[in-house]
Chain A
Amino acid sequence: MIPTVPQSGVLKWSYRAYVTLFFVYLALPLSVVCAFAFNDSVFPSLPWEGFTLDWFFGDEAPFIGVFHERSILRSIGTSAFVAVWVAGMAVSVGTCNAFLFVRHSFRGQGFLYILMLLPLIIPGVILGISILVFSSSVANTLEDATGLWFDGLRPGLILVILGQFSFITTFATLVISARLQKFDQSLEEAALNLGATKWGAVRQVTLPFLLPAILGAGVVSVLMSFENFNTTLMLVGSDSPLTITMFDKLKHGSTPVLNAVSLLLIVCSALLGLMSLLFQGRGSKG
Chain B
Amino acid sequence: MTSDRSKLGFYLLLAPLLLWLVLLIILPHIGLFFVSISEKVGVRQYETGLGNYAVFFNEPLYWRTFARTAIMSISTTALTLILGFPIAYYIAKMTRGRTKTTLFLMCLIPFWVSELVRTFGWMILLRETGIVSNALQYLGLTAGPVEFLYNDAAIMVGLVYTSILFMIVPLVTTLDSLDDSMIEAGYDLGGTGVSILREIIIPHAMPGIVSGCIVVFMLSLGNYLTPILLGGKDSLWFTGLIYTQFITRFNWELGSAFGFLLLALSSGIVFVGLKLSRQTLSETMGR
Contacts and interface: CB of A to CB of B under 8 A. Distances in A.
A binds B: yes
A279 B159 CA distance: 30
A1 B229 CA distance: 40
Given A125-B224, A233-B243, A2 B129 contact: no
Interface residues of A, number: 87
B130 A133 contact: no
B17 A174 contact: no
A33 B113 CA distance: 12
Interface in A96-153: 96-97, 99-100, 104, 106, 110, 112-127, 129-135, 137
A124 B229 CA distance: 18
B159 to A, nearest CB: 13
B24 A270 contact: no
Contact of A234 (B26, B246, B266, B286): B246
Interface string A22-39: 110111111111001000
B31 A1 contact: no
B31 A137 contact: yes
Contact of B86 (A18, A30, A124, A127): A18
B54 interface: no
A130 B28 contact: yes
A25 B86 CA distance: 15
Nearest to A220: B112
Given A22-B83, A125-B259, A270-B112, A33 B93 contact: no
Interface stretch (A68-76, A187-195, A223-231): A223-231
A168 to B, nearest CB: 11
Contacts of B83: 22
Given A15-B90, A130-B259, A93 B17 contact: yes
Contacts of A118: 25
Contacts of A134: 27-28, 31-32
A41 to B, nearest CB: 11
A46 interface: yes
Among all A-B residue pairs, the 6 with the closest Cβ atoms: A29-B121, A123-B222, A130-B28, A273-B112, A134-B28, A166-B24
Interface of A: 1-5, 15, 18-19, 22-23, 25-33, 36, 43-46, 92-93, 96-97, 99-100, 104, 106, 110, 112-127, 129-135, 137, 162-163, 165-166, 169, 174, 198, 223, 226-227, 229-230, 233-234, 243, 246-247, 250-251, 258-259, 262, 265-266, 269-270, 272-274, 277
